[in-house]
Chains A and B, each alone.
Chain A
Amino acid sequence: MSDAAPLSAVQMAAAVRAGERTAADLVDESLARIGRRDGEVHAFLHVAADEARAAAAEVDVMAAAGRDPGPLAGVPVALKDNLCTRGLPTTCASKILQGWRPPYDATVVERLRAAGAVVVGKTNLDEFAMGSSTENSGFGPTRHPRDPSRVPGGSSGGSAAAVAAGYVPVGLGSDTGGSVRQPAALCGTVGVKPTYGVVSRYGLVAFASSLDQIGPITTCVADAAVVLEVIGGHDPRDSTSLAGPPPRITEALGRGVDGLRVGVCRELVDGTAPDVAARVAEAAEALASSGASVEEVSVPEMRYGLSAYYLIAPAEASSNLARYDGARYGLRVDAEDVAGMNTATRTAGFGAEVKRRIMLGTYALSAGYYDAYYGKAQRVRTLLIDAFARAYARVDVLVGATAPTTAFPLGDRVDDPMAMYMSDVCTIPSNLAGHPAISVPFGEGDDGMPVGVQVLAPALHEERMFQVAAVVERAAHQRSGSPQGGRS
């Protein structure tokens, strides 16, 4: 990062609320950083400069009038381009949605705006969030801000790179099998996948509906907590959204881990690169020296997670992506009849990975195969949830790696889908179980690239998860000797 480390979101909002900074300045600085660097990084598919300046001006008017512009006052945010934004392009990095402008904002976008945050643009992703490197974008890959020859991870690679490059302190991503946590880990940022149902999916373009959750990508744990409090909570427009008030997390950040039981999950360490495994071990030691009891735990059923995921997610995707048929919006390739138009449009509009997953999913749901594939995968999911429950009878949280390796070179895995799919092996179990998990930067690998340590918790135990994450983050800072700001 060539720029000086910018303020955290919490610091920015505090400065705007105190009248020390204006939202207009913060947004202009963010736009300037994007302008300087994003030609190379390509984190953004669309920068909404005019809209951002207008929104910032409104925040400043509010602040000047003595009204509270909200907990994210003036904070520039980047949105993964599968989150609907009224009047702004929303493409899912697919040519099939090129030019489409939704007539509505996703619930999370409404809530961010209501909290004073300013949307500066829409970020790159693997097409329809299908991928682990952001190379599957229909509009070109995103590069790692620290080493442009490497991928930022994915599918929320654009949001992770935007935060890692210092453009914005907050990005939103979506996490179906690790798409927030894995790029967060590879980019050296914090990434959260909340409990399924904590954050409304209304306005998130669906990939796999029973797994998708929106989550924040930030420079520090405290910012992630504030953002999750803003975007979380019941939404009547999403039937799977959980009842009850938004999660309360921030007050748990300073509680420490004294007396907590931490399980180092063997399945989240075995099979990861030695340098990654070493960082996990160091994080566990740090937790032990902070007063937690640490033991090794095994959840063997996690080994079936990847297989179950690659049946369930493509099956749901094959149905969710049927609507891109050329009839109503986005790309249309004309043909002699309706079926011909559907085929020509989808052939031209979808990339190879999306087509692969639609075919996999269609097959898995076919009459005669349903029980053997989709049905069995759902039963594996139940077994996994039971296995997690047994583990959580012994420990309060699990820790492990977020990704098996650090950021890999561009092009390294594009011709080997299985190798690419393995990038998500540590993150998928939480999606299948619907549990929360967070990735916290913890040192570097042998190649100097960031490593993420993952903290997993039982459903709706975000508070406990953040409590542990804050200690891991503190240990990481002590380890590198950098006092780094960001914690209020």
Chain B
Amino acid sequence: MSGWETVVGLEVHCELRTRTKLFCSCRNAFGDEPNTNVCPVCLGLPGSLPVLNEQAVELAMRIGAALGAEVRPSTFHRKNYFYPDMPKDYQISQYDEPINVGGHLDLPDGSRVGIVRAHLEEDTGKTSHVGRAGRIHAADYSLVDYNRSGVPLVEIVSEPDIRSAAQARLYAAELQRVLVATGASDGRMEEGSMRVDANVSVRRAGSPVLGTRCEIKNLNSLRSLRAAVEFEAARQVVLLEAGDRVAQETRHWDEQAGRTLAMRSKEEAFDYRYFLEPDLVPLEPDPAWRDRAAAAVGMLPGARRSRLAGLLDAPGPSQADQIEALIDQGLDDLVVVAVAAGAPAALAMARAANELASSMEAAVAMDGGAFAALVVLEGQGRLTATQSKAVLAEMLASGGGDPVAIAAAKGFESLPDDALRDVVGGVIEANPQEWSRLCGGEDKLTGFFTGQVMKATGGKADGKAVAAELRRRRG
């Protein structure tokens, strides 16, 4: 791969979390009994007509606002092609006048990926091919569930600004966070709420010309996205280095085999015969509605990231990981509350990222005040790290509680300073050789003495206080 550059553009389909479908009042829900959320409109029965869902427009505008796109007056077109999961044999989609134009997404690694557009369209039904390989060719028969037919989608098309499989994954993950933040989508790739198509090409490093691209369809996890882009770029490099050409085609990612396969070739390329949908009228949201939609967007991941980082003097690499974990788990608000209540920021982040993450449901429901109180106790040295983790575990298991009361019930209390001094003195007297070595500069023996003190106190001593007492006695 050396000497080659990978170029990727992504098309992400995001199902909107509306109550009803894009053009009818059927329920928009995942996982219901097949063909129960259907009506003449989403079944495309003769004589039925679409009526645009206001909530879908609102959510599309929120996505536009989150991506810094320009929200514009827009129209709908018909995209004509035959497929049994599409009841009208055309899809209503936005074509040359999409609702959101332009914008960008900033990734956690500091890179920026341009957005071409984010437009509204309807989803198709879901086909299951029964028998053989689960593909339409050679299937014994096929079943179609039209519950998904007419579910609102926003398709977000990126510029070909992505330069690696890892960056493609990063983009999709960040976009997922943004979509969740807007409230427009649950971003669940495993349920198909977010589906990714990747346009991949390669070119000689430094070349300004784009190579011939292949489109990899329906990647349904971040891992598949990364693996598919990696495979596809390598495949193209092998072809080009052998003096062959890359054929522009649509490819399918075979998860088991770990490779992409040609789906349909250019010969079968569709002519979608787009034309303005005569059953709908132009969409022109007034500025006040656009502003309301933008205001409804929650705090975006970039802002959440800087808010946490701002609590620290200079975040180290492990803290950067903690910040990502906290944002993904939605625990950043808890940390901010704890810090505002006086908890040390680094400690609050560490406890939230490492301890709370083990029990997400309870963690998300945790009372911010109680968490803050616990971290403050540990920060003041009134609980040791071990004790603090134990109290936190109890708070998670019992669904909350007062950390002071739990610590007391467990018999956790730090030793009074004079008692600690006595214990440390006793341990030194019992280990005179080790003590002289420590005083002679063998710092690693600090751990030995700390361990002996902990043993003598049944773990009640605060490790930091022990270290301080040892330093004082060494002089």
Contact = CB atoms under 8 A, between A and B. Distances in A.
Contacts of B50: 239
B30 to A, nearest CB: 23
Nearest to A211: B278
Contact of A239 (B49, B80, B88, B137): B49
Contacts of A205: 46-47
A97 B84 CA distance: 17
Given A102-B47, A240-B279, A339-B82, 17 more contacts: A97-B46, A104-B40, A203-B47, A206-B279, A236-B51, A238-B49, A239-B51, A316-B275, A318-B273, A323-B87, A323-B88, A325-B82, A325-B89, A328-B87, A338-B84, A365-B275, A366-B271
A204 interface: yes
A237 interface: yes
A322 interface: yes
Contacts of A325: 82, 84, 89
Contacts of B44: 323, 328
B56 to A, nearest CB: 14
A243 to B, nearest CB: 11
A201 B52 CA distance: 16
Contacts of A202: 47-49
B124 to A, nearest CB: 13
A327 B146 CA distance: 12
A323 B271 contact: no
A38 to B, nearest CB: 25
A103 interface: yes
A319 B279 contact: no
Q: Binding site of A, secondary structure by majority: helix, strand, loop or mixed?
A: loop
B279 A90 contact: no
B47 A367 contact: no
Contact of B271 (A90, A327, A367): A367
A407 B149 CA distance: 46
Contacts of B279: 206, 209, 238-240
Interface of A: 82-84, 90, 92, 97, 100, 102-104, 106, 201-206, 208-210, 236-240, 315-316, 318-319, 322-323, 325, 327-329, 337-339, 342, 362, 365-367, 370, 374
B281 A328 contact: no
Nearest to B84: A327
B43 interface: yes
B431 interface: no
Nearest to B83: A338
A204 B142 contact: no
B231 interface: no
B121 to A, nearest CB: 16
Contacts of B82: 322, 325, 339, 342
Nearest to A342: B82
- The main secondary structure of chain B at its interface with chain A is loop
A417 to B, nearest CB: 23
A209 B278 contact: yes
A319 B90 contact: yes
Nearest to A203: B47
B247 interface: no
Interface in B121-160: 136-137, 142, 144
Interface of B: 40, 43-52, 78, 80, 82, 84, 87-90, 136-137, 142, 144, 271, 273-275, 278-281
Nearest to B43: A328
B45 A103 contact: yes
A1 B280 CA distance: 44
A97 B45 CA distance: 11
A102 B49 contact: no
A338 B85 CA distance: 11
Nearest to A204: B47
B91 to A, nearest CB: 11
Nearest to A326: B84
B46 A92 contact: yes
Most A-side CB within 10 Å, residue of B46, B49, B52, B273: B46
B421 to A, nearest CB: 82
Contacts of A240: 278-281
B88 A237 contact: no
29 contacts: A84-B46, A84-B47, A90-B46, A100-B46, A102-B40, A102-B45, A104-B47, A106-B47, A202-B48, A202-B49, A204-B47, A205-B46, A209-B279, A210-B278, A237-B51, A238-B49, A238-B51, A238-B279, A239-B279, A316-B278, A318-B80, A318-B273, A323-B87, A329-B45, A337-B137, A338-B136, A338-B142, A339-B82, A367-B271
Contact of B80 (A237, A328, A342, A365): A365
A203 B48 CA distance: 6
A103 B274 CA distance: 30
Given A239-B280, A240-B281, A366 B49 contact: no
A274 to B, nearest CB: 39
Nearest to B90: A319
B347 to A, nearest CB: 58
B80 A319 contact: yes
A322 B90 contact: yes
Contacts of A338: 84, 136, 142
B49 A201 contact: yes
Contacts of B88: 322-323
A450 B142 CA distance: 55
Given A239-B281, A323-B87, A370-B275, A206 B47 contact: yes
A239 B22 CA distance: 13
Contacts of A206: 46-47, 279
Contacts of A201: 49
A77 to B, nearest CB: 18
B57 to A, nearest CB: 13
A459 to B, nearest CB: 15
Nearest to B136: A338
A92 to B, nearest CB: 7
Contacts of A204: 47
B267 to A, nearest CB: 15
A323 B47 CA distance: 11
A362 B280 CA distance: 21
A210 B276 CA distance: 10
Nearest to A316: B278
A238 B41 CA distance: 11
